[in-house]
Amino acid sequence: MGFIDRFLRTRKFSRGIHPEDHKRPAADAPLRKMPLPKRLYVPLLQHVGAPARAAVAVGDIVRKGQRIAAPQGAISAALHAPTSGRIVAIGDIVAPHPSGLPVAAITIESDGRDEWTTLTACTDPFALDPAEIGRRVSAAGIVGLGGAAFPSAVKLSGGREANVDLLIINGGECEPFLSCDDRLMRERAADAIDGVAIMLHATGAREARIGIEDNKPEAIAAMRAAAAGHPKIRVEPVPTRYPMGSEKHLVLALTGLEVPANGRPADVGVVVHNVATAVAVRDAVRFGRPLVSRLVTVNGACVREPGNVEVLIGTLADEVVEFCGGLRADRGAPARLLLGGPMTGMQVPSLRVPVIKGTGGILVLDGDEVGLRAPGPCIRCSTCVRACPVGLLPLEIARRIGAGDLDAAVKFGLKDCIACGCCAYDCPSHIPLVQYFHHAKGELAARDRHKLRSEATKTLAQARAERLERETREKAETAARRKAGPDSQPAPAPRPTGAAAQPTGECA
């Protein structure tokens, strides 16, 4: 794609921000593999949708890759044993979440052998029916590895049902500090392209475009070399601008098409998957391997040896940091602990929480990186308006939230906010705008749940009142008939006489 064409496609995406990326030296360090932990803690909910249901019991012996929890409902994902060993507990652990509240999990004690269960391989994935690919991806428990953790099989089958024309692979990785996708594309480019080709077959799309921010030249070169023999797959650099990795903004940058505010990419003939998801799909379909590990960026000034590590799902985050040399004593106590990136990741009170499928990073930041400052009053400068990639008015939304008028905040586009953090990052008064929006969305969700409960209670109460009224009426009618005596009973119908009384013949 030429410069003019690229400019015309991306001119609408003139908002967003350019934060310092802080990706090196972690991005330039070769991939490492985390040693086998003694225990793994696998939460039953680590994806969008309903939590998985435990399919094992305490004391069971499992092998690596064996299914230990089944999906519940259409939007859910199976879970598999990350290693071989024994189930020692099924119960609550500390959630990898800012709340630190308990979450149900399966705890596995490793036997040290790391033995795989029997896997079903496929020598020619392109001979499989697309629906069968979707079934294998679902059985492998694969979810979007870019952070959203939406079940991938649902998007694959949904793309085919929607007759999408274009498959977009998200290799943008616009979050500062994170580089696991960059490193994956450099070292496993051929596997990624193979996965993209399998996804093309599964979705029925006519072509695939892989969008990679232009600050990753090594990844772009590696992916282009791997895609050289695939005429339906193109690697296209996109401008380095946060949040380019946002699904809707990547679609706009690569196609010029704008996804409707309340719509999905499929509404404009597109389906989007992450590049790491493509590798996981390839491993599942070709070799039958379920999703039991992922690449995680370990970064921040407090980390002694930043880099990208392949980590088994369920490994405690503090063990991953310890594998990376532990914390630097000269930096003092960390100012912030994050799972994911600094813009959209989750701040956690402790790293004694497990890595889950959506964990793309473990960040241990010092005070300089966090830039802690006390918030001041809004000066109505509209910097947040210029930064918002969705074109909202964050200052007006925040004003309505502060006044407790959530309905007015919704009218100003609260539900369209993608929680990218651009407004808060650029705000000269350091107002935590995105935190306000998170809080307001939580209040709206709670209000909607209360409304549903109230409506359900009202329906049940109305049904009960109608039933009691009917029973009272029937009892009154029965009592009235009894009081009237036998004369009130209806007279029997008269018997037919004459010709009408003669039989008409036997039934056929």
Residues 430-434 have a mean pLDDT of 88
Query: Looking at residue 162, what is its pLDDT?
Result: 87
Query: Looking at residue 489, what is its pLDDT?
Result: 55
Query: Looking at residue 73, what is its pLDDT?
Result: 84
Query: Looking at residue 190, what is its pLDDT?
Result: 96
- Does 30 have pLDDT greater than 60? yes
- Does 508 have pLDDT greater than 60? no
Q: What is the DSSP letter of 143?
A: B
At 492, the amino acid letter reads: P
CATH superfamily of 3-30+120-288: NADH-ubiquinone oxidoreductase 51kDa subunit (3.40.50.11540)
Query: Looking at residue 48, what is its pLDDT?
Result: 84
- Annotated binding site, which residues? 378, 381, 384, 388, 417, 420, 423, 427
Q: Count CB neighbours of 120 within 10 A.
A: 8
Query: Looking at residue 444, what is its pLDDT?
Result: 84
pLDDT band at 507 (very low <50, low <70, confident <90, very high): very low
> CA–CA distance from 69 to each of 55, 72, 77, 120, 155 (Å)?
5, 9, 9, 19, 21
* Structural domain boundaries in the chain: 3-30+120-288, 296-369, 376-459
Contact 389, 422 (CB under 8 A): yes
Query: Looking at residue 436, what is its pLDDT?
Result: 86
- Does 504 have pLDDT greater than 60? no
Question: 3-state DSSP helix/strand/coil percent for the chain, to nearest 5?
Answer: 40, 20, 45
Closest CA to 428 of 371, 347, 390, 367: 371
pLDDT band at 451 (very low <50, low <70, confident <90, very high): confident
From CA 172, how far away is CA 246, in angstroms rounded? Answer: 9
> CA–CA distance from 114 to each of 117, 173, 301 (Å)?
10, 31, 33
pLDDT band at 10 (very low <50, low <70, confident <90, very high): very low
pLDDT tens for 125-172 read 999 999 999 999 999 999 999 888 899 999 998 888 888 999 999 999
- Annotated binding site for [4Fe-4S] cluster, which residues? 378, 381, 384, 388, 417, 420, 423, 427
Helix (H) / strand (E) containing 424 = helix 422-426
pLDDT tens for 75-120 read 899 999 999 999 999 999 988 887 778 899 999 999 999 999 999 9
From CA 295, how far away is CA 313, in angstroms rounded? Answer: 10
- Does 3 have pLDDT greater than 70? no
- Does 6 have pLDDT greater than 50? no
pLDDT tens for 471-488 read 999 888 888 888 887 655
- Which residue do the tokens 């030429």 mark? 2
Closest CA to 187 of 314, 275, 55, 313: 275
- Does 4 have pLDDT greater than 50? no
Pick the more confident residue, 490 or 8: 490
The percentage of the chain sitting over the pLDDT mark of 70, rounded to a whole number, equals 92
The percentage of the chain sitting over the pLDDT mark of 90, rounded to a whole number, equals 63
Query: Looking at residue 18, what is its pLDDT?
Result: 85
- Does 5 have pLDDT greater than 60? no
Q: Would you say the pTM of this structure is higher than 0.85? A: no
Query: Looking at residue 390, what is its pLDDT?
Result: 86
From CA 241, how far away is CA 221, in angstroms rounded? Answer: 20
Of the listed ranges 80-89, 425-434, 449-458, 489-498, the least confidently predicted one is 489-498
Residues 244-269 have a mean pLDDT of 88
Mean pLDDT estimate for the chain: 89
- Does 443 have pLDDT greater than 90? no
Q: What angle do CA 28, 31, 32 make, to 5 degrees?
A: 130
From CA 311, how far away is CA 151, in angstroms rounded? Answer: 20
Contact 269, 164 (CB under 8 A): yes
pLDDT tens for 325-374 read 999 988 888 999 999 999 888 889 899 999 999 999 999 999 888 877 77
